[in-house]
Structure 1
């Protein structure tokens, strides 16, 4: 390799911290570039006669930082390939080249592909000075995040948090909003400007809500959020939920939770599911939030039982779900396309079939009715089975056939009742009627489960109206005639229409 690039770290900002080796490399270089001249060490070096070509104009020409870093990397690579034999380009960056330096990351990826030798000479990063000035040991656990990557799911409040690239008050405002997803508004934070640079260093300790009111943000600014074991800060995290459920099932936990098995709480899973459905029907988001939590607890408990056996953990459940979502949405995460919901569903079904093949199952050899859960409510199960049968070509040509079949089944039910056939026969005939009604629902594009639920709600609402009106008259349903209740029932219907 004849072409080469040497990256030199300029340190955190104090010229006294620049190593002798870095200074010699900079002085001896024939061609020097610097990402930005907005750094105290660059100012000092140029006063000593070490001049640079900067990329500051790229910042002004581009609309976002990724475009800036891409342009700088491309220019450096092109210049290295154009250089003379043995000529090494020196590229200087603030801090340490391997800490929060996107251009160096791009060079590391592309130099080997371009046949360009890359040498990296370290420097003191802003982290070194931060540990000293802010007074915490990184071995206690700390996170380093870019200001553009602040979100609640990425933050662990039990660890110290350093946020770099806080260039201005607008960026500080965005950081503040991201932190407020986890921390209270008055949580103490520290803003550091030019840490370790004599005459420029500033340290401001403020409550979180004042973060964007601090003056002086620039290229050498950072934000520090101290670690905390406060339970209130962790209560939103999935990790804390996992810990709580683990403790409940542990020998020192809750005796009731510890004794439960998959079988003993099976009914709880069903009940909690229906309670969630009730909040959906009621359009009650506050209650829905609570009930979804109860349903999630059932998932956590079942997963914890398997974790104790060593079969899988809830994180394995999450991993498998993520893999499935990514795989079954090739129109979102892959190369396929889907112009509408039907196309997206076709992709989903195709990927499901492929998953079966990978497991050694041949979808074409399975029954057309396979894949319907055994324990679904009967009305829902009938609907799904009929849809699968129709997809296989076993269906009425039009709804007239459905009406004929429904009338036939009603007649057979009447006959079974009138002739006092065995109760099991009458029950079977009633099932045939219901199955035919489901067919009618499918043909008119209605969900039979939802349709019946709406009718039940309507019945309950009207019956409550009857009870209330009777109560106003000093009566109960037991003290009223059917005619009186029927009259109030019709009144309830009229009021609904109004």
Structure 2
């Protein structure tokens, strides 16, 4: 049979709202515990001779609430485990046992494992009093959030929002900062203290920025954020972005956006990606934020086109990405380990190969060069092809072989030009030369695309200096001689060296 833990809800704080059944169980129990005595109903019961053993000392002995709830749960299960069969251990909690009561949640999980029966007797929840005192109908859209774990992502401005567990001004301050990510500083907020408790109830209306200046926070406090239909409050949400893109593509939306196809936007996707890269090179966070948004728009437009055809939605894209990230990081979300970046990459590649097997593709039967996107920029594609070939041993033993190959290709390119071969042949020889230089870059651990980008940026800086100096002299580049521009170019080079602390050489 075993011992029984009976959990009784004490209600929101008004003794008159205790049911007769609950009162009788509280009065008749031989062994009574209460999570905290800081509750009006407990004080009233003790005045009538119903005494409790509280867990208030557990709060004082622990640094955080999860530790408190764990210790209370362990203690109750230990008491029940050592009690005679059929013995009842009554445990009283504020409000309703199934509403925002962490210890009851833990008891529900662990009592069956310990062979202990658990009975739950409801009580008036703080929600009942809140609906009356605050005057809203939850069917309009309602969410209950925990102040201790509140984040911006939890908040939906379209729903009435109650935030519980606001025990003190420090918690209220954290709530305020989270809400300010979505709401203006002066957004009207309501603080409720002891709702439903006659003579103690307080309903205070304050602007958001004053939330942590309100006095009286305690176990019976909550914060209410009224619902709003103002779409500006959702301007940071992914859902709003999804709606905006759908509207742009709708019959009443933008004519240009409606006409676009995957093919027509193909070049835009590439251009936006390169504009993001430019902001990275410029180390310009503000510009990067804007350009990342433009790149995200391209993703959303392509996903919206597929949603219109019924193939998939933007949320399917997110699901696929999340599943991939979870699966390919077993050292973070699974039971594998990775001591460094190389080991993490190994896990990634192993899980990637397993994904192929699940799709009926044998990785062993694929070309060593598979997986390189067809439309990568040629320099980047050459680099990736060579890396893949090197993994299976198709590589020079040392840099000597690479230098010899570069020199050979220079000679062949030079010969093709000097002998006046047709443009196609000259172009092919030039490609061979570039390919061999990419190989040299790979062997020294340099990304050729990045290296050329750095040189392009350097060329722009130095040529801009030449133009500026000529302009100050009343000239344009087309009016100057090559010798004049060469002198200015060398000046720009020396200025850069000096700025970096290099000596002339």
Shorter chain as denominator, the TM-score bin is over 0.9
1:364-387: per-residue Cα shift (whole Å, max 9, x none)?
111111111000000000001111
User: Counterparts of 1:471 and 1:478 in 2: how far apart (Å)?
Assistant: 11
The residue that corresponds to 1:192 in the other structure is 192
Residue by residue over 1:451-471, the C-alpha shift from the partner in whole angstroms, topping out at 9 and shown as x without a partner, is 001111111111111111112
Counterparts of 1:422-433 in structure 2, within 5 Å, are: 422-433=422-433
Q: Distance in 2 between matches of 1:211 and 1:415?
A: 79
Greater Cα shift, 481-490 or 430-439: 481-490
Deviation at 1:417, TM superposition (A): 1.1
Over aligned residues, Cα RMSD in angstroms?
1.0
**How far apart, in 2, do the equivalents of 1:490 and 1:49 lie?**
96
Give the superposition deviation at 1:232.
Answer: 2.0
Q: Give the equivalent residue in structure 2 for 1:218.
A: 218
1:332 aligns with 2:362: no
Tell me, in whole angstroms, the C-alpha distance in 2 between the residues paired with 1:405 and 1:414: 14
How many matched pairs?
498
State the 1:158 CA deviation: 1.0
CA–CA distance in 1 between the matches of 2:75 and 2:491?
81
Paired residue secondary structure (2:203): strand
| Residues in 2 aligned to 1:85 and 1:426: alpha-carbon distance in whole angstroms | 95
Match of 2:162 in 1: 162
Equivalent residues in 2 for 1:395-406, closer than 5 Å: 395-406=395-406
Question: 1:342 maps to what in 2?
Answer: 342
Tell me the equivalent position of 1:139. 139
Task: Specify the SS of the correspondent of 1:449.
Answer: helix
- For residues 307-456 of structure 1, the aligned pairs below 5 Å read 307-456=307-456
What is the match of residue 205 of structure 2? 205
Which whole-Å CA distance do the structure 1 matches of 2:286 and 2:439 have between them?
36
Runs of 4+ in structure 1 off by over 2 angstroms are none
Number of the residue aligned with 1:29: 29
SS at match of 1:300: helix
Listed as ranges, the matches of 1:247-286 within 5 Å are: 247-286=247-286
Does residue 237 in structure 1 map to residue 234 in structure 2? no
Q: Cα distance, 1:85 vs. partner?
A: 2.5
**Deviation at residue 388 of structure 1 after TM alignment:** 0.7
Residue 3 of structure 1 corresponds to: 3
* Stretch of structure 1 that moved more, 464-473 or 120-129: 464-473
8 Å Cα contact 1:160-1:224 kept in structure 2:
yes
In the alignment, the residues of structure 2 paired with residue 23 and residue 451 of structure 1 have an alpha-carbon distance, to the nearest angstrom, of: 79
Unaligned segments of structure 1, at least 5 residues: none
- CA distances 1:13-61 after superposition (whole Å, capped 9, x unpaired): 0000000111111112121111111111011111112111111111111
Maintained 8 Å contact 1:30/1:87: no
**Which TM-score applies when normalising by structure 1?**
0.98
Q: Secondary structure at the match of 2:242?
A: helix
Distance, in Å, in 1 between the alignment partners of 2:299 and 2:242 is 11
After superposition, residues 419-498 of structure 1 pair within 5 angstroms as 419-498=419-498
Point out where structure 2 has 5 or more consecutive residues left out of the alignment: 499-505
1:140 Cα deviation from its structure 2 partner: 0.9
Does the residue aligned with 2:81 lie in a helix, a strand or coil? helix
Aligned-pair distance for 1:94?
A: 0.3
Is the Cα–Cα contact under 8 Å of residues 29 and 88 in structure 1 kept in the other structure? yes
- Are the aligned partners of 1:304 and 1:313 in contact in 2 as well (CA < 8 Å)? yes
Q: Distance in 1 between matches of 2:59 and 2:488?
A: 76
Q: Secondary structure at the match of 2:357?
A: helix
SS of the aligned residue for 1:459 comes to helix
Residue equivalent to 2:55: 55
* 3-state DSSP of counterpart to 1:12: coil
The answer to whether the 8 A contact 1:151-1:181 is kept is no
Taking structure 2 as the reference length, the TM-score comes to: 0.97
- SS of the aligned residue for 2:86 comes to coil
Find the counterpart in structure 2 of residue 93 from structure 1: 93
